[in-house]
Amino acid sequence: MQDLAGEENTHVYRLNVETEEVTDLTPFDEVKAYVSATDRDQPNRIIVEMNRNNPMFFDVYSCDLETGELTLLQENPGMTEDGCMILGYMTDEEMNIRGMATIDPEVGTIVFYLKDAGAEEWEEFVSFSALDTVSPQRFSEDGRGLYYQSNLESNTTKLLYQDLDTGEVTEIAHDSLADIGGVSFDPFTGEPRSVSFHYLRRDVQILDPSIREDYDFLGEFNPGDFGITSRDNADSTWIVVYFTPQSPAIYYLYNRTTRSMDYLFNAIPALDDYQLAEVEPLLIPARDGFILPSYLTVPINAGEELLPMVLYVHGGPWARDYFGYDPFAQLLADRGFAVLQVNFRASSGFGKEHLNAGNKEWGGLMQDDLTDAVNWAIDQGFADPDRIVIMGGSYGGYATLAGVTFTPDLYCAGVDFFGPSNLITFRETVPPYWKPMGAIMDIRVGDMDEDSLMLEERSPLNHVEDIRVPMLIVQGVNDPRVVQAESDQMVAALRENGNEVYYVLYENEGHGFAIEANRLEFAGRVEEFLYNHVPGVECQMFEEIPNSTAIVR
């Protein structure tokens, strides 16, 4: 799948690996399409969903990979008879439509419905509020059971199995600190073999005793976290990938019979020639005692001197930072910065209490968590209070703008990329297929009517007079999530107020960087900005990158 220029209208493509011929299987303008199901027993058929008929809703198609023919299986009418919006559909292991999810647009209640293959009537399986999580994983091989994640009766998600004939529910796996990160199913029996959880580091619960010795061996082979990306039909050979702070992915071929590993490749082989920094997992207390799982990267051979520090804020915000390789954290550490990454409240993966604690707290408690983490770093004696930079993308961009606005004395500079500046206009300009989730956005961010004053108050655009530090603001021209106007209006207000601001637009980019030249160009811009505005750092000066689409305004 790939979009054209960052607008996120992905198309589904077929690649002939022998001739390298590429065919667009969904050649429709302004349509978003994606693959939602495959079946090893039907190798020439996939399930594709796309919003060709209505930009808000996705219909379900069967796609013949040989001919490219698309057959409509399920039209999404958009609304149910009781006024709920249809979020989408789910197929079983034979790619029959068996599940449907709806949401009440007024209060955000979500309902999952199930039916037998070929049946017409839907039966309610579970109903839950937006404060909870229920996530179907897959049907059993015989189609008479459903594996799903749920936190309805716990803080963190559990892996459950429900017999659809008797209604009996069996708990399979659970961790009290972290939500489920992933489930590995046996490709032949359909039964779960292992479940991963990621609190500070990745932890795996083994469900299938036949693979325990394999996992023990793989865990001892490399200190990084690992996963199984694929296996042969005999289940005797696995492709194993290791994730470390020094490499995004190192691949090996593992022979289960001989317990031997053959090195395949490093996803970024150039990194083999460099020594990269270590990452330390941390638990940082906020001012109210709320615990913030965090990660600290420090320069190699850092001494006792105070370090300049970048608070690097993740996007989402319903996402998280992980233990592992982060290219910008490593770049900044190489240039002499400590880098602090904080899973503030609203970050996902740590249970619903952690997630829901961020409801309607953009610019509030979520921002306080970041402030508290910076003050913690200063109190620990390694961060120079006069050389703290805040930087982030998407929600992290908003947090950057909020940080330099609401705590203007804490930071010496800010780097915002793809960040919303006004919570009202941000909500008004999201993609049409986000509209069914409007009630959840009301709960998570703030109700457009009832909370309008709060949203205005917490919009950095409305407080530019409080910003006293230089800013680098970066925007993708085709960003469908945080549109260019969000950055345009912030830059205009800053310049009108006399602030020092550098503005860079990237053509043919959306909510992130897809073009390598632009990733390098952006990194160079950040280095130059930090060199000019953070005393005592050693960054490389900016050089023009061929084929970059950057426009400096």
Given pLDDT bands bounded at 50, 70 and 90, which one contains residue 40? confident
pLDDT tens, position by position, 286-318: 999 999 999 999 999 898 899 999 999 999 999
User: Which residue has 């240039």 as its token pair?
Assistant: 335
Give residue 441's pLDDT.
96
CB 173 within 8 A of CB 162: no
Q: Is residue 353 part of a domain?
A: yes
Backbone angles phi, psi at 260, to 5 degrees: -125, 150
Task: Give helix then strand counts, H and E, for the chain.
Answer: 10, 30
**Three-state secondary-structure class, residue 318:** coil
pLDDT at residue 4 in the model = 79
Q: What percent of the chain has pLDDT over 70?
A: 100
pLDDT at position 137 over 80: yes
52-61, 70-79, 539-548, range with the lowest pLDDT:
539-548
* Active-site residue set: 394, 479, 511
180-185, strands of its sheet edge to edge:
180-185, 192-198, 202-206
Say what the pLDDT of residue 118 is.
Answer: 86
Residue 233 is predicted with a pLDDT of 85
- Structure confidence at residue 2 as a pLDDT band (50, 70, 90): confident
Alpha carbons 37 and 203: distance in angstroms, whole number? 27
pLDDT surpassing 80 at residue 488: yes
Residue 24 lies in a domain: no
Determine, yes or no, domain membership for 263: no
Q: What is the pLDDT of residues 84-119, one digit of tens each?
A: 999 999 999 899 999 999 999 999 999 999 999 889
- Predicted confidence (pLDDT) at residue 164 exceeds the cutoff of 90: yes
Helices 365-379 and 395-406, axial angle in degrees (round to 10): 70
Other C-beta atoms closer than 10 Å to the C-beta of 397 total: 29
Identify the CA nearest to 475 among candidates 371, 530, 401. 401
How many angstroms separate the CA atoms of 508 and 75, rounded? 32
The confidence score (pLDDT) of residue 8 equals 87
User: What is the 3-state secondary structure of 173-203?
Assistant: EECCCCCEEEEEECCCCCCEEEEEEECCCEE
Using 50, 70 and 90 to split pLDDT, how confident is the model at 254?
Answer: very high
Assigned domain for 105 exists: no
| Percent over 90 (pLDDT), the chain | 90
Mean pLDDT score, 266-277: 92
Answer whether residue 324 is part of any domain.
yes
What 3 state SS string does 4-33 have? CCCCCCCECEEECCCCCCEEECCCCCCCCE
Give me the helix-helix angle, 516-533 and 327-334, nearest 10°. Answer: 40
Number of CB atoms found within 10 A of residue 30's CB? 9
Q: Given this model, what pLDDT does residue 157 score? A: 99
Which residues lie closer than 8 Å to 251 by C-beta, 6 or more apart?
A: 229, 239, 240, 241, 263, 264, 265, 266, 267
Q: What six digits make up the tokens of 33?
A: 């399409």
Q: In this structure, is residue 74 part of a structural domain?
A: no
pLDDT computed for residue 342 by the predictor: 99
* Tens of pLDDT, residues 403-459: 999 999 999 999 999 999 999 999 999 998 888 889 999 999 999 999 999 999 999
- Number of domains comprising the chain: 1
518 within 8 A of 509, measured Cβ to Cβ: yes
**Structural domain of 413:** 275-552
Q: How far apart are CA 97 and CA 117, in angstroms?
A: 7
pLDDT of residue 417: 98
Provide the pLDDT for residue 433: 86
β-strands 307-313, 550-552: how paired?
unpaired
Residue 136, pLDDT score: 97
pLDDT at 541 > cutoff 80: no
Instruction: Give the C-alpha distances (Å, rounded to integers) separating 92 from 97, 180, 312, 415, 433.
Output: 7, 21, 41, 45, 24
Q: Where are the beta strands (DSSP E) in 207-335?
A: 225-231, 237-244, 247-255, 260-266, 279-285, 291-297, 307-313
- Two structure tokens written together for 288: 């109210």
Whole-number mean pLDDT of the chain?
Answer: 96
Encoded amino acid at 432, one letter: P
In sequence order, the 6+-apart residues with CB closer than 8 A to the CB of 89 are 49, 60, 74, 76, 97, 99, 100, 101
Return the pLDDT at 61. 97
Q: Taking 80 as the threshold, does the pLDDT of residue 540 lie above it?
A: no
Backbone angles phi, psi at 527, to 5 degrees: -60, -50
pLDDT tens digit sequence for 371-389: 999 999 999 999 999 999 9
- The answer, yes or no, to whether residue 544 has pLDDT greater than 90, is no
The CATH number of residue 502's host domain is 3.40.50.1820
Cα atoms in the Cβ-side hemisphere of radius 13 Å centred on 179: 24
Q: How far apart are CA 249 and CA 269, in angstroms?
A: 10
- Average pLDDT rounded to a whole number, residues 522-539: 93
pTM of the model: 0.95
**Confidence check: pLDDT of 543 > 90:** no
